[in-house]
Amino acid sequence: MLLKGKVALVAGATRGGGRGIAVELGAAGATVYVTGRTTRTEQSEYRRPETIEETAELVTAAGGEGIPVQVDHLDAAAVKRLVQRIGQEQARLDILVNDIWGGENLFEWNKPVWDHNLENGLKMLRLGIDTHLITAHHALPLMIEQPGGLLVEVTDGTAGYNASHYRLSPFYDLAKVAANRMAFAHAKDLAPYHATAISITPGWMRSEMMLGHYQVSEDNWRDATRIQPHFVISETPRFLGRAVAALAADPDRARWNGQSVSSGGLAQIYGFTDLDGSRPDCWRYMDEVMDPGKPADATGYR
């Protein structure tokens, strides 16, 4: 177990990519604090069944130690208490993953700023930017107490892709571009402490919510390609988790400091696969197949 003895905080680990990351860090032996707002006794406005306790149990079952903590990462005092608890219980923090989001029900595609609901748009920015900065502010001082720490900013789209593509909403676009830039900025501040900051994007992820949207399960996910043929390039949340675990276990990860990477791109370098043994390279597929309007065909891309 390459991460045995390491302590991670996965902020925003109730479901989706955060859960996938937490489980794979656990599979590598790490102690993982998993945060979110939904517990077995209290739900967020999502009204979904996934809970932080369930995620923590999956981490432990995978071989690590999962510790659930209910936290709203817009609440700076709550985040401060969380980090103080980690310091008291573990006396270290090796890996911080900022996967906080919560904006799926707020964006309106293909609407200019004057037509988009302003309150929802501004809340989206708070969820996608403020939460990450609040968490970094409180957690990074603990992480840099020893060399070798890793900060991972999770976003949607590589820096290169987002620089040349409009993400269909001014608010969503800004939120996702910001995470890439945050990693770049934090990298400058962390380098003197021999710590690394990276932004990472999954591809088209088969999260619980995405599977629900297409009314399929992980077992029959390919049925969704009848509705959206390009879903053929999709990946599980665990693929993103394996990318983060590979970064965390890499003694030479400082070579990535400040860079924007993808799960599919890192799979080509580190050699890990998705649960089905494939290596979906979504962002190359988007550039070369989906965006040019070619027929859906993942041959050569997974």
| Domain chopping of the chain, boundaries | 7-203+237-277
User: Across the strands, what pairs with 10?
Assistant: 34, 97
- Per the CB < 8 A criterion, the answer to whether 153 and 132 are in contact is yes
Integer Cα distance of 55 and 63 in angstroms: 13
Which mean pLDDT values do the consecutive 10-residue runs of the chain (302 residues) have?
96 97 98 96 88 97 98 98 98 98 89 95 96 98 97 97 92 96 98 98 96 96 96 98 98 97 98 97 95 95 92
Q: How far apart, in whole angstroms, are the C-alpha atoms of residue 133 and residue 153?
A: 10
- Asked whether 198 and 182 are in contact (CB, 8 A), the reply is no
Give residue 47's pLDDT.
86
With beta carbons less than 8 A apart as the criterion, state whether 150 and 94 touch: yes
Listed residue (195, 80, 173) closest to 128, CA to CA: 173
Q: Name 176's bridge partners.
A: none
Confidence (pTM): 0.96
- Give the pLDDT confidence score for residue 104 in this predicted structure: 86
- How far the first Cα of the chain sits from its last, in Å, is 27
State residue 17's pLDDT score: 97
Closest-CA residue to 10 (of 82, 104, 84): 82
The type of residue at 222 is: R
What's 7-203+237-277's CATH class? alpha beta
